[in-house]
A and B are shown apart, each in its own frame.
Chain A
Amino acid sequence: MKIASLDLAVHRLPTPFPLLHGEVRVSEWSAAALAIAEAHGRLVSLWGRDDRRGESGHFVMSAVYALTGGTLVWLDLPLLSREESYPGLADIYPYVIRQQRAVADLLGLAATGESEEHADSRPWLAHGAWSADYFPLRREAGERTSGEWPSASDYPFVAVAGDGVHEIAVGPVHAGIIEPGHFRFSVVGEKVLRLEQRLGYVHKGIDQRFQSLPASEGYRLAGRVSGDSTVACAWAYCMALEAAWKLPVPPRAVWLRALLLERERIANHLGDLGALGNDAAFAFGLAQFMRLKEDWLRLNKALFGHRYLMDVVVPGGIAGDIDANGIEGLLAQCVAIEAGIRELHDIYDEHAGLQDRFLTTGRVTTEQAMALGLTGLAGRASGIARDVRLNFPAPPYTELEFTLACKSGGDVAARVAVRFDEVFESLRLIRQILRRLPSGMVREELPSLLENERPGGIGAGWIEGWRGEIFVALTLAPGNRIARCHCHDPSWQNWPVLEHAVIGNIVPDFPLINKSFNLSYSGHDR
């Protein structure tokens, strides 16, 4: 089949969105990356796995690309003769550097052949707190819990020289109640010359942990890769599992999953809109939005049993159903919350002090955003009109009327505006879903095969979470076992862009800029 301008042997996987899968040789690996970039496609995610079996098998590198026509392509590169390196892709897609460093940490496979500008062999997730020759995703690694442990080591930050330049080190423990990470600023006076991030503090071995869980249980772990995106990631996981096992999902469950996904989006946007007001010294905004969010979460709990909807999306459907009263309650809440948000929207728009802090702060132009691979909500605030719900629609989005929220400002103000627009759009989606909700059951029973008779296979999930695109690649071994589960959070693309967004801004605006992206540490560090 022709992919971009190349002829590749790929076949369609039974996912609810168009996904092609195939194996490539080393020469085709880089050629495909280049051809796809030239055809305006982009790299979504890169990972590796250990397919060695005794004397046979290989390490395998995988990359998934989004093509402009609305198709994903997943390419596997087996590293023949037990090679432990592969052609790096950072010269074509600079934003893949950290993903390649993570592959080196977890699997001991090195990216080679890149220009000096893009080659970075510093460890990323590994901070020296386990031995450097321990690769958790290799077969021989096993699950190590005892033995001698070294302590975490220092990190070779890039130093900036010059008259009056000094460094400010922040983290991993921050002032507020947020996730841990380290930021190293090089500043002159108040102005930021350079920011370098060090992440990985919340790396908890999720990829290895997946391999010890039954595949039918993996959705619970997927739903805790990033707690604020539990619906998106659990849905992507279930989508992958359902494709691999060819499980049907009842239509009502598919529609309810979308309802939950939009509720998750609104919950997060409400929290962020409040926090953004607060970071610009407008505590009223925080108090008001957090109240709305609390109401929202309480209804989740009342109807679905969990405030953040963890463990509600399950393989084959969803756990729990709503009745006519529930639907009425949800619709009534849409009306109440929408009125509240519209009022606050006016207040934010008319508040000179807020707008002064928001406008032109932390700007990422459309050109920068394209070059750096900015994605999701932040991408849409920088003029990149992309959304999985529109460009790669899977049911029920194929049947829902949906308008994309997009701004070109690229500053904090634009990221605030996109959130407001998306809240209103999600409310509209929720109303459509509730009005047209199909009847029937909400969960297909897992086939009553004996556990060890469940087939192996591969599948993938692709969901527009509130932060951006969440991709899950799942490789199953026979007998309900997970050979490899890779959960990709959009923060992998967006964290490096934050380093650019703060250049030239003043240090006190960093918390505001950071919040306007609100990237995931846990989803990134895994």
Chain B
Amino acid sequence: MWKILGRIAKTGIATEAPPAAAAQKVGAGETASVPRLHQEILDILGRALTIRAVDAGSCNGCELELNALNNIYYNLEGLGIKFVASPRHADLLLVSGPVTRNMVLAVQQTYAAMPAPKLVVALGACAIDGGIFGANYATLGGLAPVLPVDHVIPGCPPEPVDILAGILDVVRRRLPPESVPHV
């Protein structure tokens, strides 16, 4: 127990400032303040942002970076962003890979299970246009043929800061009014 506490004390707080979203970048190196991000996410969604990630044929490189994004340097949950297991709890669908035909059904069902308004983000070169795998008998060559894509995050794989910036970007670009449900 003492060793664990000692290690925790030694590690301290390693969290770094979040990146500015691409759309909001004013000067180089600008970083967004955490309270402002919180407020923006709340203004737009009314609550924290929840993400369901689906691997639709990735090489696993994009998933490695999603997992890295969950490490303490990026303090994702501190920003109010959380990966969830159930699509019913998700605001945003993050899809990686060139979208294999064997995964199309699962991707469509995951999307259908999400409550509106739903955001869809294509993560990585493969989900954008098939990347190195292209389109063939086994893949669709990206997410666009299956779902309406709101935003893309390029990279192979996109690094955690790029993913974070991309997520913040899509949140900041307000949803078109027609997709916001009237309750």
| B137 engages A205 (CB within 8 Å) | yes
| A522 engages B58 (CB within 8 Å) | yes
Of B20-28, B29-37, B64-72, the one contacting chain A is B64-72
Tell yes or no: B106 within 8 A of A by CB: yes
Bound CA span A288–B11, Å = 8
Which of A172, A230, A301 has the largest count of B CB atoms less than 10 A from its CB? A172
Decide: A172 near B103, CB < 8 A? Known: A224-B132, A284-B8, A307-B159: yes
| B83 engages A177 (CB within 8 Å) | yes
| B133 engages A204 (CB within 8 Å) | yes
Which of B60, B100, B141, B159 has the largest count of A CB atoms less than 10 A from its CB? B60
| A291 engages B11 (CB within 8 Å) | yes
| B4 engages A226 (CB within 8 Å) | no
Tell yes or no: B42 within 8 A of A by CB: no
Q: Which residues of B contact A357 (CB under 8 A)?
A: none
Decide: A178 near B135, CB < 8 A? Known: A201-B102, A290-B68: no
* Binary B-proximity of A288-306 (CB < 8 A = 1, otherwise 0): 1011011001000100000
Tell yes or no: B7 within 8 A of A by CB: yes
* Binary B-proximity of A461-505 (CB < 8 A = 1, otherwise 0): 000000000000000000000000000000000000000000000
Tell yes or no: B139 within 8 A of A by CB: yes
Q: Say how far A317's CB is from chain B's closest CB, in angstroms.
A: 21
| A208 engages B3 (CB within 8 Å) | no
Q: Say how far A313's CB is from chain B's closest CB, in angstroms.
A: 15
Q: Which residues of A contact B61 (CB under 8 A)?
A: 224, 227-228, 230, 308, 310
Bound CA span A204–B101, Å = 8
| B59 engages A136 (CB within 8 Å) | no
Q: Which residues of A contact B68 (CB under 8 A)?
A: 290, 293-294, 297
| A173 engages B110 (CB within 8 Å) | yes
Decide: A200 near B60, CB < 8 A? Known: A291-B14, A294-B68, A343-B3: no
Bound CA span A346–B85, Å = 32
Tell yes or no: A93 within 8 A of B by CB: no
| B134 engages A151 (CB within 8 Å) | no
| A209 engages B58 (CB within 8 Å) | no
Q: Which residues of B contact A293 (CB under 8 A)?
A: 68, 71
What would be 7 A-B contacts, judged by CB atoms less than 8 Å apart? A204-B138, A224-B132, A225-B59, A227-B61, A227-B157, A288-B11, A343-B3
Tell yes or no: B97 within 8 A of A by CB: yes
Tell yes or no: A206 within 8 A of B by CB: yes
Bound CA span A350–B44, Å = 47
Tell yes or no: B104 within 8 A of A by CB: yes
Q: Which residues of B contact A310 (CB under 8 A)?
A: 61, 156
The contact of A202 among B7, B58, B64, B157, by CB within 8 Å, is B58
Q: Which residues of B contact A343 (CB under 8 A)?
A: 3, 7
Tell yes or no: A441 within 8 A of B by CB: no
Q: Say how far A209's CB is from chain B's closest CB, in angstroms.
A: 6
Decide: A290 near B156, CB < 8 A? Known: A145-B135, A204-B138: no
| B85 engages A208 (CB within 8 Å) | no
Bound CA span A460–B77, Å = 46
Q: Say how far A123's CB is from chain B's closest CB, in angstroms.
A: 11
| A204 engages B72 (CB within 8 Å) | no
| A130 engages B138 (CB within 8 Å) | yes
* Binary A-proximity of B46-87 (CB < 8 A = 1, otherwise 0): 000000011111111111111110111100000000010100
Number of interface residues of A (CB under 8 A): 58
- Known contacts A290-B67, A294-B73, A521-B60; 17 additional CB pairs below 8 A are A129-B101, A130-B137, A145-B136, A152-B101, A152-B105, A177-B70, A180-B103, A201-B100, A204-B97, A204-B133, A206-B133, A224-B61, A227-B60, A288-B11, A290-B71, A308-B64, A520-B60
Tell yes or no: A319 within 8 A of B by CB: no
Output the nearest chain B residue to A173 by Cβ-Cβ distance: B106
Decide: A151 near B104, CB < 8 A? Known: A178-B55, A180-B55, A226-B60: yes
| A220 engages B139 (CB within 8 Å) | no
| A347 engages B3 (CB within 8 Å) | yes
Q: Which residues of B contact A156 (CB under 8 A)?
A: none
| A177 engages B141 (CB within 8 Å) | no
* Binary B-proximity of A155-188 (CB < 8 A = 1, otherwise 0): 0000000000000000011011111100000000
Output the nearest chain A residue to B159 by Cβ-Cβ distance: A307
| A350 engages B102 (CB within 8 Å) | no
| A226 engages B73 (CB within 8 Å) | no
* Binary A-proximity of B103-124 (CB < 8 A = 1, otherwise 0): 1111000100000000000000
Q: Which residues of B contact A290 (CB under 8 A)?
A: 67-68, 70-72
Bound CA span A198–B116, Å = 32
Q: Say how far B62's CB is from chain A's closest CB, in angstroms.
A: 8
| B133 engages A209 (CB within 8 Å) | yes
Bound CA span A343–B3, Å = 8
Tell yes or no: A454 within 8 A of B by CB: no
Tell yes or no: A143 within 8 A of B by CB: yes
Tell yes or no: B98 within 8 A of A by CB: yes
Q: Say how far A12's CB is from chain B's closest CB, in angstroms.
A: 33
Q: Which residues of A contact B97 (CB under 8 A)?
A: 202, 204
